A and B are shown apart, each in its own frame.
Chain A
Amino acid sequence: MKELVEAIAKALVDHPEDVQVKAVEGPQSAVFELRVHPEDLGKVIGRQGRTAKAMRTILGASSVKARKRMTLEIVE
């Protein structure tokens, strides 16, 4: 699912080459640490955090399908 976070983030930002996703995976859970160009931080968070919330909602649905709890951390 790392590719999913990458695909969404790259579509949102102005500097897709600076998108980095690090997956910390356990047997039943995974944490995705998303790093973007400093100028793009607002783009992945969104007004009132709506974009970050939308990405987490998508990951939540993927968690159901994958039977694995997946969370997103946006690293500043």
Chain B
Amino acid sequence: MPLILVKDGQLDRSATAEALRSFLEGFLRAARWDLKVAVKTVDPAAAGESAETAEVLADFDGADKELLLERGAEVLKALEHLSLKALRLDTIFQERIHLDCCGYRALRLEELRMTARVAAERVKTSKQPFRLNPMSPRERRVVHLALKDMPGIRTESEGAGEERQVVILPAEASAAH
């Protein structure tokens, strides 16, 4: 099943949204879960600087939403992984596609930014590095972006695979290297 979703180095948002909708609707029919999915596209240029990088968003709602959201939205994340594989997109385009359910992940990302800011304030005062819990590549990116303009600190990722975590360091530590 060849899919052409990237044209001239740009993600073809409407073709991607259509392919994603088709996959997810087929999935819901086969699974017989009581859920509806709405897929929309976002033009990053029109969305402004503060917006997420998501260009194609699928949002689920319905009686079976707990199935997706239980245990830290484990099933939603699994479905996102399978969707990205089914679309056969390069890694750089994968982070522009988000699956969500009733705004759960948008809320989770906001919590993550708040946690990052609180931890960064602590590093500024204590001058000691602070390690956040291991996170997915997407979550780490959110943390790096949330803190990139904060004075007095810098961020790095350390560790491999599932254990990779963001470390917040005092800014002057970089001058010591």
Contacts and interface: CB of A to CB of B under 8 A. Distances in A.
B82 A8 contact: yes
A4 B31 CA distance: 5
Contacts of A29: none
B102 interface: no
Chain B interface size, under 10 / 10 to 19 / 20 to 34 / 35 or more: 20 to 34
Of B26, B78, B79, B81, the most chain A CB neighbours within 10 A belong to B78
14 contacts: A1-B30, A4-B30, A7-B26, A8-B27, A12-B82, A12-B86, A14-B1, A46-B81, A50-B81, A53-B78, A54-B81, A58-B78, A61-B67, A61-B70
Chain A interface size, under 10 / 10 to 19 / 20 to 34 / 35 or more: 20 to 34
Contacts of B26: 7, 11
A71 interface: no
Contact of B86 (A6, A11, A53, A64): A11
Interface string B39-76: 00000000000000000000000001001101000110
A62 B85 CA distance: 20
A43 B85 contact: yes
Nearest to B74: A57
Of A1, A55, A57, the most chain B CB neighbours within 10 A belong to A57
A76 B149 CA distance: 50
Contacts of B1: 11, 14, 16
Interface of B: 1, 23, 26-27, 29-31, 33, 64, 67-68, 70, 74-75, 77-79, 81-82, 85-86, 161
A1 B84 CA distance: 22
Contacts of B70: 61
A48 interface: yes
Given A11-B23, A11-B86, A51-B85, A58 B30 contact: no
A55 B82 contact: yes
Contacts of B77: 54
B85 A46 contact: yes
A39 interface: no
Of A3, A7, A12, A43, the most chain B CB neighbours within 10 A belong to A7
A62 to B, nearest CB: 6
Interface string A44-76: 001010110111011011101100000000000
Contacts of B82: 8, 11-12, 51, 54-55, 58
B91 to A, nearest CB: 11
